[in-house]
């Protein structure tokens, strides 16, 4: 059974939700602590959402310097799959794992809504269960989710197929090119602002045409981990 670690930082909000999503997907969830130099032999890692270290300096900036993130970055170089959700995406940016940056939403407000996304890349460890171009809906909640990059970086992101998800229908935060999530060239890393862990079981997800709160599109992120391993 795949062991998936979830790191808890001071100010983490969604670490328990991430562990539940991992369990529902049939994996073993392993709690990891930000101060430790021990990945506990996990097969993959989730950096969860929240407000690590109170979002001081910049969102994710202090967490990116924590002992365990240093170990995770080293393990990424050896192929460790990592999913960064919201604050976890910000941490991956601050650690230099994914290109570009994330700034205050262009309207200056914290936003919380169900958000439709377009799946742009299915050749990753976290998106293999989706179809190319598929539209999914998962919750979005952030104040600093606007994706930015210089022209050269944007061109590279587009030309190399590093966009994992785009916002559909409405761009909620002013992200350039409607970018909601990115991957790395090998597909082992995915970072995104919306929250798949909040859409993994009926009764607790977004509304759908079938029923209120029945959306579970987020579960595919976590089941993709096993699927992609089989496909390899």
User: Model confidence over 139-149: pLDDT tens digits?
Assistant: 999 999 999 99
pTM of the model: 0.96
Section 144-163 average pLDDT: 97
CATH number at 67 reads: 3.40.50.880
Catalytic one among 144, 195, 198, 216? Answer: 195
Torsion of CA 17, 21, 26, 29, to 10 degrees: -30
pLDDT confidence bin for 61, thresholds 50/70/90: very high
Query: Using alpha carbons only, how large is the chain's radius of gyration in Å?
Result: 16
The three-class DSSP label of residue 65 is helix
Q: What is d(CA 151, CA 51) in angstroms, rounded to the nearest whole number?
A: 29
Per-residue model confidence as pLDDT tens digits over 17-35:
999 999 999 999 999 999 9
Mean pLDDT of the chain: 95
pLDDT single digits (tens) 75-102:
999 999 999 999 999 999 999 999 999 9
Q: Is 112 an annotated catalytic residue?
A: no
Give the CB-side neighbour count of residue 6, counting CA atoms within 13 A.
24
Q: Is there a catalytic annotation at residue 74? A: no
Domain tally, the chain: 1
Tell me the residue range of the domain where 23 lies. Answer: 3-231
Which of these is catalytic: 27, 34, 86, 216? 86
Catalytic residue among 116, 197, 216, 228: 197
Residues 6+ apart with CB under 8 A from 196: 21, 85, 138, 217, 218, 219, 220, 221, 222
């Amino acid at each position: 059974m795949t062991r998936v670690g979830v790191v808890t930082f001071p100010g983490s909000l969604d670490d328990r939700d991430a562990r539940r999503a991992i369990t529902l997907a049939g994996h073993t969830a392993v709690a990891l602590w930000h101060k430790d130099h021990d990945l506990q032999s996990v097969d993959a890692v989730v950096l969860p959402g929240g407000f690590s270290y109170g979002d001081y300096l910049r969102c994710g900036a202090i967490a990116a310097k924590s002992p365990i993130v240093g170990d995770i970055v080293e393990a990424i170089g050896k192929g460790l799959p990592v999913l960064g959700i919201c604050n976890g995406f910000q941490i991956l940016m601050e650690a230099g794992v994914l290109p570009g940056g994330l700034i205050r939403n262009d309207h200056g407000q914290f936003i919380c809504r169900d958000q439709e996304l377009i799946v742009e890349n299915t050749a990753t460890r976290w998106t293999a269960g989706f179809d190319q171009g598929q539209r999914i809906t998962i919750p979005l909640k952030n104040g600093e989710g606007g994706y930015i990059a210089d022209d050269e970086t944007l061109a590279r992101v587009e030309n190399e197929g590093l966009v994992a998800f785009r916002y559909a229908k409405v761009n909620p935060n002013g992200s350039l090119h409607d970018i909601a999530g990115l991957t790395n060239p090998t597909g082992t890393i995915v970072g995104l602002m919306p929250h798949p862990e909040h859409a993994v079981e009926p009764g607790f997800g977004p509304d759908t045409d079938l029923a209120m709160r029945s959306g579970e599109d987020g579960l595919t992120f976590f089941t993709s981990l096993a699927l992609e391993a089989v496909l390899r």
